[in-house]
Amino acid sequence: MDQNAIAAFNSNDIMPTSADGTMPFLQQTDLFYLSGIDQEESILLIFPDANEKQHHEILFIKETNEEIAIWEGHKYTREEARELSGIQSVFWVSQFNEIFNTLIFQAEVIYLNSNEHLRAKNEVETRDARFAKWCKEKYPLHKYKRSQPILHKIRAVKSHIEIEQLKKAIHITEKGFRRVLKFINPGIMEYEIEAELIHEFVSNRSKGFSFQPIIASGFNACVLHYIENKGVCKDGELVLMDIGAEYGNYNADLTRCVPVSGRFTDRQKAVYNAVLRVQREAMTMLTPGNTIPEYHKEVGKIMEKELVGLGLLSKTDIKKQDPTLPAYKKYFMHGTSHHLGLDVHDYGYPHMKMEVGMVFTVEPGIYIREENLGIRLENDVVIKENGIVDLMNNIPIEPEEIEDIMNSK
């Protein structure tokens, strides 16, 4: 932060549905990352150059009462919030305006938070957005800066504790996957697989899926964001499962494709192994100093060779290709990796150089719509000094191992 600067972070709203309904509360991940507070109507102030040490960091939480406790349950006391966050100055959110007003004129710069993820639509006004409007109207002569460039830098590199949380989420995900391997049979509905997974996740203290699960059999696997999960898993088809469990607000992200009948056909196995080879080569390129655009470019070259080997592309196709739209994109339309953490598509600008401690997914795929065949394989890895550590190396991925488990019922 600049000198004499104050930064403010707000919790998420509890989002309405209709009538008096609400969605489950999901904390704004910047506030959670910086404070550990997982409760609505919370505000964090960071002011390192404040005149008094007690004002260097301040947490504001919702004041509870007996009626709230009866209807909604327990909320943090100030003592609990201190212990959980490590922040000693804790006040009720009703005191925010008064305290903020006494501090703001010590500051020359105000850092405001917003959602700067490249895929964000930002169609709903957040508490951070409302606060920014209020702040600029009330204090128009201050200098304003963005918090996100700092957060994208520090959140992209995971601490040891964060890696441990991710490992727990991944372990729960593995248990769910192993459960459904013995459950899948011809005639099973996609939503029945989803039900088995959520049962295993919640039974292991996860709040549930880390994102809307994709359970896609047959042609459905060729729809990249298929989430209806209402089809029938038919004999002779594959079922693609892009799933993950949440644990402590950290998210796993796994994709596996398995044969509904318990055995891959020769063609399915050939395509599967091609995707697996691309994934393993891609993992070797996740090294400190590389960047996502350069990495994706090199992965495309590997995929190109595999598609030629499968008879899906010819050397003539490659010679005639438009460099801005490579021929392989017909069968592999998406990127290979994204950051992973508190958000499934976590923080980190594409141009940033890869660093030790960054966590990425590795998820190449081949989608052959004319063959009703879509295969994607995805593992989560952490970058180390000398290569990566595959956080999902215990989860079955070899086609023979998957067949053995499915046929050992």
Segment 137-191, tens digit of pLDDT: 999 999 999 999 999 999 999 999 999 999 999 999 999 999 999 999 999 999 9
CA separation for the pair 116, 349 (Å, rounded)? 10
Are 119 and 212 found together in one domain? no
Are 150 and 193 found together in one domain? no
pLDDT band at 68 (very low <50, low <70, confident <90, very high): confident
The per-residue pLDDT for 379 is 98
- Residue 301 lies in domain: 157-406
> Which among 392, 396, 387 has a CA at the least distance from the CA of 281?
387
Question: In this structure, are residues 337 and 360 in contact, taking their beta carbons and an 8 Å threshold?
Answer: yes
Sign of the C-alpha dihedral computed for residues 319, 321, 322 and 324 taken in this order: negative
* End position of a domain, from candidates 155, 190, 210: 155
Comparison of pLDDT for 409 and 48, the residue scoring more: 48
Does pLDDT of 242 surpass 80?
yes
Does pLDDT of 276 surpass 90?
yes
CA separation for the pair 331, 369 (Å, rounded)? 9
pLDDT band at 122 (very low <50, low <70, confident <90, very high): confident
The per-residue pLDDT for 118 is 83
Are 254 and 369 found together in one domain? yes
Comparison of pLDDT for 65 and 230, the residue scoring more: 230
Are 54 and 14 found together in one domain? yes
Are 145 and 198 found together in one domain? no
Question: In this structure, are residues 39 and 76 in contact, taking their beta carbons and an 8 Å threshold?
Answer: yes
Cα 97 to Cα 6, 46, 144, 246: the distances in Å are 14, 15, 18, 35
pLDDT band at 324 (very low <50, low <70, confident <90, very high): confident
| Digit-coded pLDDT (tens) for 24-51 | 999 999 999 999 999 999 999 999 999 9
Are 166 and 150 found together in one domain? no
* End position of a domain, from candidates 131, 155, 179: 155
Are 140 and 218 found together in one domain? no
Q: How many structural domains does the chain have? A: 2
pLDDT band at 266 (very low <50, low <70, confident <90, very high): very high
Buried b (16+ CB within 10 A) or exposed e, 71-98: eeeebbeeeebeebbebebbbebeebee
Does pLDDT of 409 surpass 80?
no
| Digit-coded pLDDT (tens) for 345-404 | 999 998 999 999 999 999 999 999 999 999 999 999 999 998 999 999 999 999 999 999
Mean pLDDT score across all residues of the chain: 96
* End position of a domain, from candidates 155, 178, 204: 155
The CATH number covering residue 120 comes to 3.40.350.10
Are 177 and 194 found together in one domain? yes
* Phi-psi group of 269: left, alpha or beta (phi > 0 → left; psi -120 to 50 → alpha; rest → beta): alpha
Quote the distance between the C-alpha of residue 162 and its chain's center: 13
Q: What is the mean pLDDT of residues 205-233?
A: 98
The tokens of 9 are what? 């972070």
Buried b (16+ CB within 10 A) or exposed e, 161-184: ebbebbbbbbbbbbbbbebbbeeb
58 forms beta bridges with: 45, 89
Are 148 and 209 found together in one domain? no
As a dihedral over the C-alpha atoms of residue 106, residue 112, residue 113, residue 115, rounded to 10 degrees, the angle is -170
Q: Where are the beta strands (DSSP E) in 31-139?
A: 43-46, 57-61, 89-92, 109-112
The per-residue pLDDT for 186 is 98
Helical segments of 147-208, H only: 148-156, 160-181, 190-203
Does pLDDT of 3 surpass 80?
yes
Are 138 and 163 found together in one domain? no
pLDDT band at 329 (very low <50, low <70, confident <90, very high): very high
CA separation for the pair 330, 370 (Å, rounded)? 12
Are 259 and 398 found together in one domain? yes
The CATH number covering residue 257 comes to 3.90.230.10
Are 197 and 126 found together in one domain? no
DSSP 268-300: HHHHHHHHHHHHHHHHHT--TT--HHHHHHHHH
